[in-house]
Amino acid sequence: MAVAQVLRSEWTKIRSVSSTVWTLSVALVVTVALGVLISWLTRREWGEMPARDRLTFDPTFISFAGMSLGQLAMIVFGVLVVSTEYSTGMIRTSLAAVPQRGVFYASKIAVATVPAFVVSLVTAFASFLLGQAVLGPHRAALGDEGVLRAVVGGALYMTLIAVFSMGVAAMLRSPMLALGVLMPFFFLLSPILGAVSATKKVGRYLPDQAGSRIMQVVTVGDDVPYGPWGGLGIMALWCAAALAGGYLLLKRRDA
């Protein structure tokens, strides 16, 4: 089967499953709404903010506060895109139609990544523009140094969260098992490792902590040993490892 046909087939699968469309919509709405809310609360409490916090205030990063919940929807999207066929048993039909497993796997990941990036890009710009509008006199401009990089980086961050989830789902195959691993990893393990002084240096190399560095503009007093693009690179390596693991297991296991 030609690669173009496989790509069209995977695109049809994504469009026909309402849950995947809804998760992307939720990612956009939740991220933007929470970012606006946190920006509004920050402006309201500005007068009571300690002087030190004002000096290190990052208006751009504040507008991305909704990413913490928005990435939850992106995780679900990534898992469902890959594992739904396993849970329904349709994976046997898919692999019978496309016996070249590398082509099948790469097409699925590529087709799913495109809408994830488009939605993430819209989400990042909407979060920034609306968040800065709410911040009023404390806002940053898109033309300020590092701001455009942070906004585009926010889109890349959300996309890579989905891609990482696709790789993990390909390895585990079960949507419940994949979500059971990813949710505690991002919302329990990573925050704990990042908060405890003894494990903080380890936690900063986890995909979400490293990747979120790209969204920060103000880094006064920061001792992190890598920059914004370095952090995103670390996250990309995690994604590459997850995707490679998914492919190796897909190649070796029966459907």
- State pLDDT tens for residues 95-114: 888 888 889 999 999 999 99
pLDDT tens per residue, range 58-79:
999 999 999 989 999 999 999 9
Residue count (the chain):
255
Check whether 1 has a pLDDT greater than 60: no
pLDDT on residue 34 = 96
Query: Using CA atoms, how far apart are residues 59 and 147, in angstroms rounded to an integer?
Result: 10
Two tokens, residue 239 = 């994604």
CA distances from 28 to 40, 79, 92, 207, 243 (A): 18, 17, 33, 21, 25
pLDDT on residue 5 = 86
pLDDT on residue 95 = 82
Two tokens, residue 209 = 């902590």
DSSP characters for 91-131? HHHHHHH---HHHHHHHHHHHHHHHHHHHHHHHHHHHHHHH
Two tokens, residue 135 = 């911040």
pLDDT on residue 255 = 58
pLDDT on residue 50 = 85
pLDDT tens per residue, range 124-155:
999 999 999 999 998 999 999 999 999 999 99
Helix axes of 175-184 and 67-88: crossing angle, nearest 10 degrees: 160
Handedness of CA 215, 218, 221, 226 (dihedral sign): positive
Mean of all residue pLDDT scores within the chain = 91
CA angle 156, 159, 165 (to 5 degrees): 140
Q: Which of 238, 243, 229 is nearest to 186 (CA)?
A: 238
Average pLDDT over residues 15-20: 80
Q: Which of 159, 107, 140, 131 is nearest to 2 (CA)?
A: 107
pLDDT on residue 159 = 97
pLDDT tens per residue, range 198-221:
899 999 999 999 999 999 998 876
pTM (two decimals)? 0.93
pLDDT on residue 233 = 97
pLDDT on residue 156 = 98
Query: Using CA atoms, how far apart are residues 181 and 51, in angstroms rounded to an integer?
Result: 40
pLDDT band of residue 93 (cuts 50, 70, 90) is confident
DSSP H/E element including 210: helix 207-211
pLDDT on residue 102 = 87
